[in-house]
Amino acid sequence: MFKSGYITIIGRPNVGKSTLMNYLLGEKLSIVSSKPQTTRNNIQTILTTADYQMVFVDTPGIHKPRHKLGEYMVNLAEKSIREVDLILFLTTPDVEMGRGDKYILEQLQKAKAPVFLVVNKMDEVQGDRLAESLDNFSKEYSFSEILPISALKGKNVDTLLNLMVQYLKEGPQYYPEDMVTDQQERFVVAEIIREKALRLLSEEVPHGTGVEIISMKQDEKGIYQIEATILCEKDSHKGIIIGKGGSMLKRIGSYAREDLEKFLKSKVMLKLWVKVKNEWRDDKRILRELGYK
């Protein structure tokens, strides 16, 4: 019997949703950063075996939106709750439950699908803190399964995967077996570049950074020729992104090219520019151009 289903990973920002999905898939398809709210689109990634197919919807973290991009992200996350076959509520082992987790639990009351409580970063706590956290959450919601994991180190992730298979129902293979994402290559390429910018810039530039793919094509030798613009919201940010003598922009491009070549399975020639677009996160036209539809 072949099983299949759509699964969403939901939680407040920066609890490790993308890290978990990347571990399960074995592909770096979702942006991973120490900054919150890095996942902006509900990237669908697909895990197919001889016995099942899991289609993951990696949603943005639910939070109070401060601009149109934020509203878009929250709407995606809340919509995913109502339209999937299984929900993984990912959180961290905090003894005192925060407002963010409480808000998500309120949203989960609308869910018809089974909900797993998955407590990530189990290896970062000591003593009774993990047990207390699991107990507090179990009092707030009737979860189908409760499991502590470490997505970064892979602890208990195989157990989680086996439980997910048990809850899948008999169903069709929605996507070809060699397909790992339904997102256009251009979107994934933009996300890879944006991740490198976020990682290298650290706290120097606020979160208002986007990437626009100007052109992307393969030449006669099979080499990808990619031109992209990094968007920022202030002139002062532009100087930081470029760096002295273009040093920072070169570093971003170098690190991005490594991951791009792994993803595209081909040599990549990458050219980057930086452009200031004030308040682009509130500009519907720009958001549409960047793929946030």
Distance, CA of 119 to chain centre: 17
Question: Residue 200 and residue 270: Cα distance in Å, rounded?
Answer: 17
Q: Which helix (H) or strand (E) holds 242?
A: helix 235-242
Decide: residue 99, CB within 10 A, 0-12 exposed, 13-18 middle, 19+ buried. exposed
Query: Based on the domain organization, do 92 and 40 belong to the same domain?
Result: yes
pLDDT, greater one: 27 or 50: 50
Element (H, E) at 47: strand 43-48
> Which candidate, 83, 119, 96, 79, places its Cα nearest to that of 5?
83
How far apart CA 191 and CA 199 sit, in angstroms, is 12
Is residue 128 located within the same domain as residue 201? no
Specify whether 129 is located in the same domain as 196. no
Is 164 in the same domain as 208?
no
User: Of 169, 235, 170, 181, nearest to 28 (Cα)?
Assistant: 181
Structure tokens at 288: 């549409």
- Alpha-carbon torsion (256, 54, 151, 115), positive or negative: positive
Do 44 and 155 lie in one domain? The reply is yes
CATH number at residue 149: 3.40.50.300
pLDDT (average), residues 91-97: 79
Examine the domain organization and report whether 132 and 23 are in the same domain. yes
DSSP 8-state secondary structure symbol assigned to residue 223 = -
Q: Tell me the mean pLDDT in the region 69-88.
A: 69
What is residue 29's predicted lDDT score, i.e. its pLDDT?
A: 47
CA distance 60 to 37: 6
Report the candidate in 27, 73, 72, 71 with the shortest Cα–Cα distance to residue 188: 27
Same structural domain for residues 26 and 160? yes
> Residues 181, 191: contact at Cβ < 8 Å?
no
The count of structural domains within the chain is 2
The two beta strands, 210-218 and 224-232, are antiparallel
- Flag whether the pTM goes above 0.85: no
- Which stretch of DSSP H or E encloses residue 77? helix 68-83
Looking at 34-38, 58-62, 116-120, which range is the least confident one?
A: 34-38
CB 269 within 8 A of CB 226: yes
Q: What amino acid is encoded at 259 in this protein?
A: D
Average the pLDDT over each of 2-16, 59-73, 249-263 and give the range with the smallest value: 59-73
- Beta-carbon contacts of 6 under 8 Å, excluding residues fewer than 6 positions away, are 55, 57, 83, 84, 85, 86
Note down the domain range covering 45: 3-170
Q: What is the pLDDT of residues 215-264, one digit of tens each?
A: 888 888 889 899 999 988 777 888 888 989 999 999 999 999 998 988 88
Q: Give me the pLDDT at residue 282, please.
A: 58
Specify the CATH number for the domain of residue 233: 3.30.300.20
Do 257 and 244 touch, CB atoms closer than 8 A?
A: no
Token pair belonging to 61: 């973290």
Q: Tell whether 202 and 156 lie within a shared domain.
A: no
Beta bridge partners of 172: none
Q: Which pLDDT band holds residue 96 (cuts at 50, 70, 90)?
A: confident
Same domain, 207 and 164: no
- Same domain? For 145 and 218 the reply is no
| Helix 235-242 with 185-201: angle, nearest 10 deg | 90
